[in-house]
Amino acid sequence: MTLLSVRDLSVSIHGLPILSGVSFDMAAGEVFGLVGESGSGKSMTSLALMQLLPQGAVAGGRATMGGADLLALPERQMCALRGREIGMIFQEPMTALNPVKTIGDQVAETLVIHGAASRGEALRVARARLDRVGLFADRFPLDRFPHELSGGQRQRVCIAMAVALRPKLLIADEPTTALDVTTQAQILDLLRDLVAEERMGLMLITHDLAVVAGMADHVAVMQAGRIVEAGRTEALFRTRREAYTRALFAASGHQPSRQTTRTEKPLLEVTQADRSYPLPRPHPFARPPRFRAVKGVSFTLHEGESLGLVGESGCGKSTLARAILGLDVLQGGAIRLGGEEVRAGHHMHRTMRAKMQAVFQDPYGSFNPRWRVDRAVAEPLHLLPEPPGDVPTRVAAALEEVGLSAKDGRKFIHEFSGGQRQRIAIARALILRPKLIVLDEAVSALDVRVRAQVLDLLADLQARHGLAYLFISHDLGVVRAITDRVLVMQAGEIVEEGATPRVFDAPAHPYTKTLVAATPRLPADWMEDADADRQTVV
């Protein structure tokens, strides 16, 4: 039974076309996946259906649901329809809830606003719906505020809110992208169960092929505002008719060719490192309790080695990275780089800092927007004992090494894409020829194809310069692609350590097993089919 039928949907913003000729059908009780890279128009498609497009956007075409054209309904009727017929959840659970209202009120509001129940009755339904999404009354009474909940719990509240009136269609826009893998697995399970129970249609928007593969009955691949390919998930993923689909697949499983440069010479030695923060005082005269984010962590990173550090958000991996970079003071233990102790603050000598550089996650936030790129890339040079005379040459060389041109140095950072910015960040880290580069979620914000290119670049630079990497990520696939050895961190402790293939193929610690099991993966036999076909064609 067709639930939603979209024909020739187009959207333009101030005359600039964003979507064109988007057509698809959705059935009740089925999961429809919409995959594509950022900017491909996935979210725009869903916002157009809800008539929640940004100002200046104009939609055309038809979207029929229950006999009505969603694109043509007046605002009044849309308000009656949103939340009742179509529920929607979004990517960022941390900001999706009103911070000053209780979770009970926010779930109940869906019912109250549609006149479906009195406030008291609505609160009773809210209780039942919160129970259904796994937030039980003993730990999650209705008067909890959003800030008292974790990201996964908040996403559950959002789901309860979206399904409170049992809508026919649920749109989930990257519902698990901001969550840890174990939480992601739980939320996806919940969504799958809800679809089966309520016979809802679920439109699952994601950039993650593996998530779609595990969830969707039908899938449409989007690129640059068009659907390039659509069909049953398994058939489509196995055959991969379109070049773009093949490129996405190749990139998501991309394994850069690496040659190991690992030596036996220790470069970074972390011994019994302890890092703790004061927490808010329970009452004004109490001694503030401390939170131990890193608990007696020890490991060694050798010259030329690529070491992964994986764990879920809040496990202490970034805190540890900050301590290693000498940005925060340790409360116990020691960190040595090339035999010399890393001391945070002014005790740290410039020559020490010059030996290690960092690349962070956010390609937008990690540059001063008012500096030209050459100035940003040249900045670490002040760590040298004497200012070098050939700064422009060095900057040009660094930019060329990361695949950009010397001319790019005169541009400002906003003129570059996310992937290019991350290349510039790598150039900045590279200009001093450091021994160690700390990469903290350095490819996590990038689209799969760009990510594959940056991983290739990192592998290539390591081979050429014998760099050591400390590669911090929550993404096991990426860590597997780029590291020799891996540390698994949980709640401030390293629970498992070993050669990367061994840890991921035969995890020993229960936590590593959970992580590996929770990571969505494309079925291996789906991957082979099309490759085999292509070989016969060639």
Partner 1 sequence: MLGFLLSRLGSLMLSLIVASVVIFAVVQVIPGDPATFMMGLNATPESVAHLREALGLNGPLPLRYLHWVAGMLHGDLGMSYTYRVPVAGLVAERLQVSVPLTIYALLLSTLLALPAGIFAAARRGRAGDLAVMGVTQFGIAVPNFWFAMLLVLFVALRLHWLPAGGFAGWQAGPWAVFKSLTLPAISLALPQAAILARVMRSALIETLGQDFIRTARAKGLSRGQATRRHGVRNALIPVLTILGLQFSFLLAGGIIIENVFYLPGLGRLIFQGITQRDLIVVQSVVMLLVAAVIVVNFAVEVAYALIDPRLRRPA
- Residues found near partner 1 in the complex (CB under 8 A): 50, 52, 75-76, 79-84, 87-88, 90, 92, 95-101, 109-110, 113-114, 145, 147, 158, 161-162, 280-284
Nearer to partner 1, 141 or 266 (CB): 141
d(CA 350, CA 355): 9
CB of 412 to partner 1, least distance (A): 25
Nearer to partner 1, 97 or 458 (CB): 97
Q: What tokens were used for 79?
A: 């308000």
Nearer to partner 1, 98 or 255 (CB): 98
Q: Which residues contact 461 (CB under 8 A, 6 or more apart)?
A: 401, 402, 426, 430, 467
Q: Say if residues 446 and 457 touch (Cβ distance below 8 Å).
A: no
CB of 111 to partner 1, least distance (A): 10
Q: Which residues contact 48 (CB under 8 A, 6 or more apart)?
A: 9, 11, 19, 57, 59, 63, 71
Nearer to partner 1, 21 or 66 (CB): 66
| Strands, E assignment, 283-383 | 290-302, 306-310, 332-337, 340-341, 356-359
Handedness of CA 368, 370, 375, 377 (dihedral sign): positive
CB of 440 to partner 1, least distance (A): 25
Nearer to partner 1, 139 or 283 (CB): 283
Long-range contacts at 513-518 (CB < 8 A, ≥ 24 apart): 514/182, 515/181, 515/182, 515/310, 515/312, 515/476, 515/488, 516/476, 517/185, 518/181, 518/182, 518/184, 518/185
CB of 198 to partner 1, least distance (A): 17
Nearer to partner 1, 122 or 185 (CB): 122
Nearer to partner 1, 76 or 370 (CB): 76
Nearer to partner 1, 78 or 516 (CB): 78
d(CA 531, CA 242): 13
CB of 82 to partner 1, least distance (A): 4
CB of 147 to partner 1, least distance (A): 5
CB of 25 to partner 1, least distance (A): 22
Nearer to partner 1, 109 or 447 (CB): 109
CB of 91 to partner 1, least distance (A): 9
User: How many CB atoms are located within 10 Å of the residue 364 CB?
Assistant: 12
Q: Say if residues 341 and 392 touch (Cβ distance below 8 Å).
A: no
Q: DSSP secondary structure string, 516-534?
A: HHHS----HHHHHHHHHHH
H or E element in which residue 59 lies: strand 57-65
CB of 219 to partner 1, least distance (A): 23
